[in-house]
Amino acid sequence: MSEHTQHLKELFAKAASIDDPAKRGNFLAQACENEPALRKQLDDLLEAHEAATDFIPLNPASNPSKAKETALTEAEGSVIGRYKLLQNIGEGGCGVVYMAEQQQPVTRRVALKIIKLGMDTKQVVARFEAERQALAMMEHPNIAKVLDAGATDTGRPFFVMELVRGIPITEFCDQHQLDMRSRLELFMDVCSAIQHAHQKGVIHRDIKPSNIMVSMHDHRAVPKIIDFGIAKATQQKLTDKTLFTQFHHFIGTPAYMSPEQANISGLDVDTRSDIYSLGVLLYELMTGRTPLDAQELTRADYDEMRRRIREEEPIYPSTQVSGMQESDLSAVARRRNTEPSRLNRLMRGELDWIVMKALEKDRNRRYETAAEFSLDIQRYLQFEPVKAAAPSSLYRFRKFARRNKGVLTAAAMILTLLVVGSVLSTYLAVKATMAQREADDAAQKAIEARALAEDREKDVTDQKNLAVQSAKALRENLYASDMYQAQNFLREDNIAKSRELLIKYLPQSDDDPDLRGFEWQYLWDRSEGNELYVFKDLQRPVGAVTFSHDGRWLAGLSDEGVAVWSVVSRSRVALLDAGSSNGWPFGMRVRFSADDRYLFVGRDLNRWRRSGSLAVWKTDNWSQIHSYRGLSFPLYETSASGVFSAHGPEGIHQFDLTSPEKDAEVQQQHPFSEKVLRSYAFSADAQLIAMHDRGQEAAAIYEVSTARKLADWPELFSGSGGLISIANGMKYVAWISDPMNRDAEDMRFRLFAPFEEREIILDQSQPGMLMAAEFSPDTQWLVAGGWDYLLHVWNAASGKKVGSFKGHLDEIFSLAFSPNSQTLASGSKDGRVYLWDLRSMKEKQEMETVDYRVAQEQASSIQQLQDLIDLFPQAIWAECDRGNLDVFSPPQLERQGLRVSPDGKHRVAPGEDGHLEVFNLQTGLYEASLAISRANRGWRSGRYQGHFISNQRFLYHNGEKWLIWNVMDDRLEPRPIPEVFTTFKGASDDGRYLGLSKNAESPEVWIYDFDAGKEISALSGVDHNPRGMVFSPDGSLVTSIGWDKRVQVWDSQTGSISHVLTGHKQGVASAAFSYDGKSICT
């Protein structure tokens, strides 16, 4: 304060104390002699002092000395009394706060609050007066002081407070990154201010960060509570500001409101309501969030908001922090100047107890006063027991130890030193007594030990050299064995496995020993394929390939799409969506039209697929022009361009692609309309077709254009299906009666010359199952391929095998010749499409035999294995006698519907009246039966869906879902299998774990725990739908059987792959674990 102001204040006080006007005039004349400006200031002050009958005059007429007219509305720059409004700094429900400049009798910046225009009702004015009275009673450094009050000329009251320059307490703490101790100390100042207000009989009722401003004074943070006790009676919608609704004085901010404030009446509110709001403030200072989410509260309706405030229990601050996302937690920890990992530990325990005591819904369990709240925080900061929890003796001792850490540490160290000293003294005394006696013994032992160490060092050196030599010999023997095996693979033209073994010995670094010799290089050179080119755009099995009629394009089809390549440039021309996935590769068809303007893609019509979809693309821009639903191959073309016929569910339909109406069917009867095909095959020029009509016992060969039967073929399709290829002009016919049969005669590939009426004996028949065969358009060559990865080439006229193409790394599913008969294309199971040049065909050369040495230890092991083989039959019978071998039924019995339990004691078979019957195989007696729907597919042939999953449990499908029948107790298990599972793959020995599939064509299998009634893992990683699953004896491991050549072993509990075993050339037909679960046989 300046000297002038202090002098003015003293003179005013003395003049105001003189009641006699004459004496007061004399006093002023003497005090202000030669100072007219000072006299004028004193006169104005005294005049204003005399005119102020009340602190806030409500009637402007009572102050006639005000000559200056006040506007109806205030704005920045307006003058109210001695205050010039500078800036609007806040606005509430009924008042506006301005930063103003006091002009008389002193000049300073203040905060002026005035009732809004139109809000000066009797109720609001009364509350405004109550607030002024409450603030006027308080004298506390952390509460904003009231300096003056008055009313405008229009009668609207105002009052003046000290101007608090600061920011809300939460923003201040975050901006200055105050640690937890600093925040607690700042919060204790707020508690002190609230305690002062409570002592004055005032309840704030709206404690929140925006009403507590913090600024720096003398390098110290000082909080100031503003807007103290404001009762917001205005009507406004629920926002994050103070709510004042018509619902019976609902006062306060929802996120900071106590449960008793949320009651409709709001009458039963005491100082403990402010304790709750202080607890919310402390919670937010610690965690950065309020206990109840403010946005969720404001979004809720009125009743729901009140209910949540009264009933919803907040979570602990430490729990709030531990549940944050990593980014939010890092930000909160950074603002509190600590590490994220330490933040939770800081709050856990006492701080949690203190905050939760303040947030009790029952106010009787809260702190009684703000001072008690502050004192408990002080106890925490001074490492004393807090009141918020009932401390145990151990807890009190820990606090005592922490407060007196130095004293207790010193006492513990002294005690430890005393104990150690006593023990050490005793030990040294005994040691000294024994030292002399042991010295002589030690000297002698040292001499002996030195000699022993030298001997052991020599032994270690010898053993190390022996280990190095043994390891080297082992590597060399393993190398010799692998080279021998690679040579055997090459004899079988299995390039894939041969290369797999050879690659093992490529050095990975300069430090790796290089064991490769001339034999490795020789085998490496011989393992190269003789393909012309490999297209790798497809990843799934290629079910069909075809050349365009001009030989420019090659198309390959898998269930992931159609790839079209340029034969000349070896580049991909188009990749078309075939509209299917995870489908069976057999029966896929792709074909160019006779004029190469169109590409047709679809599937065969067979007993599983009664209808399909036929898609057509234009080859000039590779755009799909139509998709015919319900149509399937075979497809017939007429001489007119764009006119074709295809099989549908009701016969053969003919369409014209050149017609504007692509769906318009040409009304014309086709010669093959009455035929229902099981399978078929075209000649290379599509002039001949071999058909197996579902109503006929044998196949027949027809001329496509006239439907004239040329020959019957009774030897074809004797079983479930066959493989046939017709040469142009029916010069030759090649076939396999049933490629899926295990009978050698049915699997034999045969060649016949119909016009000569003779069978041509094929030379060097194939070593494996054939899946595709084609004649070249010029009828010179016959090529076939299948499971042995080789393309076998015969001279059709003589049947002599002229050689084979090697290079495929997987089974061969499809073949096609180029129109000039010089280029061959083949599609593989691994999605690759190969090109071969028939002009480069060479006869297979015999490999030279490379001899390898066998170590003596290996020879001994081989002899032991031979001895074991000689004893094997006796060993089998011995195990049978001991009961260590499982009982199994042959596949023939399985196909007849007979199911035998794993222990061989029970048999289940279909009865005549739609029941499954159980027989005891030991007694031969009937025991029980179960009614099952005759509609179950395959009932007559025994191919119903039923399996023993343990000695007692029999799993079967009733046409709608899987059920489990306990054959021992003759009852259904109460817990069914969820209907989402459609296919059974296998079960553990005890029947607890089941391998089930949700989609018959999906490769993914789920492990279902029947006892627990839940899925426990999902098995993935196989390329094809597995045919079955096999569990280890304890159920912890599981493997699959099916098309995949790799044997994958999963952890049944987690679904993770534990082993991947390789070596199979084709798929895996069966698998079994050893009794100890450590070995697997496939």
Residues involved in catalysis: 206
Cα–Cα distances (Å) from 793 to 681, 761, 783, 856, in that order, read 20, 14, 5, 44
**Residue 329, number of CB atoms within 10 A of its CB:** 18
Cα–Cα distances (Å) from 484 to 287, 498, 520, in that order, read 71, 10, 10
**Angle at CA 928, nearest 5°, toward 923 and 934?**
125
Of 1017, 1061, 1023, 1056, nearest to 1042 by C-alpha is: 1023
Do residues 1070 and 1082 lie in contact, with contact meaning Cβ atoms separated by under 8 Å? yes
Distance between CA atoms of 721 and 83, rounded to whole angstroms?
106
Cα–Cα distances (Å) from 1022 to 988, 1019, 1057, in that order, read 20, 9, 11
- Give all strands (DSSP E) within 932-1043, no chain letters: 946-948, 953-957, 962-966, 971-972, 983-987, 993-997, 1005-1009, 1014-1019, 1028-1031, 1037-1041
Give me the sheet containing 572-576, strands edge to edge.
542-547, 553-558, 561-566, 572-576
What tokens were used for 502?
């050879």
Do residues 945 and 956 lie in contact, with contact meaning Cβ atoms separated by under 8 Å? yes
> Tell me, what amino acid is at 1?
M
Distance between CA atoms of 806 and 42, rounded to whole angstroms?
119
What tokens were used for 1052?
């049944």
Task: Give the HSE-up count for residue 85: Cα atoms under 13 Å, Cβ half-sphere.
Answer: 24
Of 782, 763, 768, nearest to 844 by C-alpha is: 763
Judged by DSSP in three states, 167 sits in strand
Please state whether 1039 falls in left (phi above 0), alpha (psi between -120 and 50) or beta. beta
Distance between CA atoms of 277 and 187, rounded to whole angstroms?
12
Q: How far is CA 730 from the centre of its chain?
A: 59
Of 531, 573, 535, nearest to 552 by C-alpha is: 573
Cα–Cα distances (Å) from 65 to 43, 70, 81, 207, 377, in that order, read 14, 13, 12, 41, 55
Judged by DSSP in three states, 66 sits in coil
> Tell me, what amino acid is at 933?
S
Cα–Cα distances (Å) from 431 to 416, 424, 782, in that order, read 22, 10, 98
Q: Mind giving me the DSSP string for 287-321?
A: HSS-SS-HHHHHHS-HHHHHHHHHHPPPPPHHHHH
Do residues 749 and 766 lie in contact, with contact meaning Cβ atoms separated by under 8 Å? yes
How deeply is 113 buried, as exposed, middle or buried, from its count of CB atoms within 10 A (0-12, 13-18, 19+)?
buried
Report DSSP state, residue 210.
G
> Facing residues of 966 across strands?
953, 971
- Cα end-to-end distance, the chain, whole Å: 100
Please state whether 689 falls in left (phi above 0), alpha (psi between -120 and 50) or beta. beta
Report DSSP state, residue 91.
E
Of 350, 403, 346, 397, nearest to 377 by C-alpha is: 350
Task: Give the HSE-up count for residue 875: Cα atoms under 13 Å, Cβ half-sphere.
Answer: 6
Do residues 387 and 368 lie in contact, with contact meaning Cβ atoms separated by under 8 Å? no
> Tell me, what amino acid is at 254?
P
> Facing residues of 590 across strands?
601
Asked if residue 105 has a cis previous peptide bond (ω within 30° of 0), the answer is yes
